[in-house]
Structure formats: structure tokens, C-alpha cells
Amino acid sequence: MVFFENHGVEEKESFETFTLMNFNFPLHFHRAYELIIVNEGELFVRVDQKEYILKKNDAAFIFTNQMHEFKTIHHSHISVVIFSPELIGHFFMNYKGFIPDSNVIHLKETPNLQGLNSIYRQKSFLYDICGNLVENTKLTPVAYSTKMKVFHKILLYVDNHYSQDCTLKAVAKHLQYDYAYLSKLFVHITNMTFTEYLTQYRISQACYQLKNSQQPIGEIAMNCGYNNLRSFHRNFKKITRFSPRKYRELS
């Protein structure tokens, strides 16, 4: 799901929707805005340091460069909308550099995203969401600390290199930071080691490719940084509780 991290960098109007079943995705960030809408089930969402439990017709509105992750609780059917700031330019200019005190809003009904087939309908839908947010929560200026900026750079490195031999030592060399410092910083922010995060990230990418392509499982493993197919199967089953083949059949 590289589109999550890279989306929005092109600085033009864009709007994409995705439907996901029982999906998890680890911490990431991007320039684009993101809406995570729960159609059925429950979803755990963490945005920066805040944690939310979303239920049917709840939506998380993720602002630009906010770190976030989501995990299914038992079962979930969600819609994800990723759109560039330019699509809601007036809102973006007014609240650039701000974040909401609460990222969650409740929708009156499940939106028909398939019906948003023109830029006018898309903007109408998004500005209605913006109005809902502004009316129900406070937006405050944000200034990311040096530590958080460094952490952003680590996540960005993973996004660009997860399909290769990606190690924290390589990150430390690339960023010109002490390895031990980055290791402690990563655990402090995520409560997991860099290796654990990388594994989750790679398996999440594999899940997306299994659902949305017909590539052979071995090829997907290679795309996600696994030269050893046995290790890929072991980690995949540990995280998803299914074999890659079974996961593809169920999707």
C-alpha cells in the first residue's frame, strides 16, 4: 500500500477510495488527508498519541503528516478515502499547521462513495465532513518536536526501502544518527522494535498485494523484502493467522 505514504505529494487535486475487510496497517504518514470510515465492525485507530475505537458510521479524519495506524477488532469492513489538500483548498489554507483535538466524527449514515463520480460531488462530500469536524472539535496549532521529525524520517525510509535489505543500521547511516539513539526512540514511540515494525509493514504490504493483484505468492514475498519464502510464510501466519494462500481466498 505504498499509495498511503506517497499519496498527495504531487500537489494536484486527487481523490481515491478503497474498501478493506479485516485489515490492519502499521504507523505511517503522508501529505494527503485521509478518512477512515467504519461500515461494519470495530476498528482501533491511533493518531499521533491519541487512541480511538471506531464503530459503525464513525470516521477518523487524518490530517496531513499525522502519524496513524489502524487495527481490526474481531471484524471490520472499512472504506478509506485519500485525497489531496488541494481538493479542499479553502479548508487546507485556513487550517494548515493545525490538528483537531479529536480526529473522530460520527456520520448519520454510511456514505455512498461510489456515487461521488464528479469532482463537485467529491468536494461537496469532503466539505460537509470538514464542517462536521469544525463544529464538533477544536483545532489547535501543532509544532512537531525534533524527535518526532526524526521518527517521521525513519518511517519514510522504511516506506522507500522495505522491499530491500532494510535495517535500522542502514537508517542510522542514512540519517547520520546514532544507532542506539534511534533504537530507543523507536521503541519509546511505538512500543515495538524496528524489526517488529518492519515485519508488520512488509506483511501489510503483502496483504494488499494478495487482495489486489494476481501475482504469484513467491513474487509478492520478493516484492515485500523476503528472499526466504519460509520466513515469509511464518511471519505472515503469525500476524494474520492465515497462510498467504488462505488469506487470498478469503479476500
* Rounded Cα–Cα distance for residues 235 and 213 (Å): 20
Exposure string (b/e) for 190-216, b if CB count within 10 Å is 16 or more? beeebeebbbbbbbbbbbbbbeeeeee
What pLDDT was estimated at residue 2? Answer: 37
Q: Is the pLDDT of residue 197 over 90?
A: yes
* Interval 38-88: pLDDT, tens: 999 999 999 998 999 999 999 999 999 899 999 999 999 999 999 999 999
In this structure, the number of other CB atoms found within 10 A of the CB of residue 233 comes to 16
Q: Is the pLDDT of residue 162 over 90?
A: yes
Q: Is the pLDDT of residue 184 over 70?
A: yes
* Rounded Cα–Cα distance for residues 224 and 199 (Å): 10
* Rounded Cα–Cα distance for residues 154 and 171 (Å): 7
What does the H/E/C string look like for the chain? CHHHHHCCCCCCCCEEEEEEECCCEEEECCCCEEEEEEEEEEEEEEECCEEEEECCCEEEEECCCCCEEEEEEEEEEEEEEEECHHHHHHHHHHHCCEEECCCEEECCCCCCHHHCCCHHHHHHHHHHHHHHHHHHCCEEECCCCHHHHHHHHHHHHHHHHCCCCCCHHHHHHHHCCCHHHHHHHHHHHHCCCHHHHHHHHHHHHHHHHHHHCCCCHHHHHHHCCCCCHHHHHHHHHHHHCCCHHHHHHHC
On average, the pLDDT of the chain sits at 91
* Interval 104-161: pLDDT, tens: 999 999 999 999 999 999 999 999 999 999 999 999 998 778 998 899 899 989 989 9
Whether domain 2-141 has CATH 2.60.120.810: the reply is yes
Q: Is the pLDDT of residue 8 over 80?
A: no
Domain-wise residue ranges, the chain: 2-141, 146-250
Counting residues of the chain whose pLDDT is more than 70, the rounded percentage is 96
Name residues whose C-beta falls within 8 Å of residue 148's C-beta, 6 or more positions apart in sequence. Answer: 67, 189
Chain mean position to CA 27: 6
Give CATH for domain 146-250. Answer: 1.10.10.60
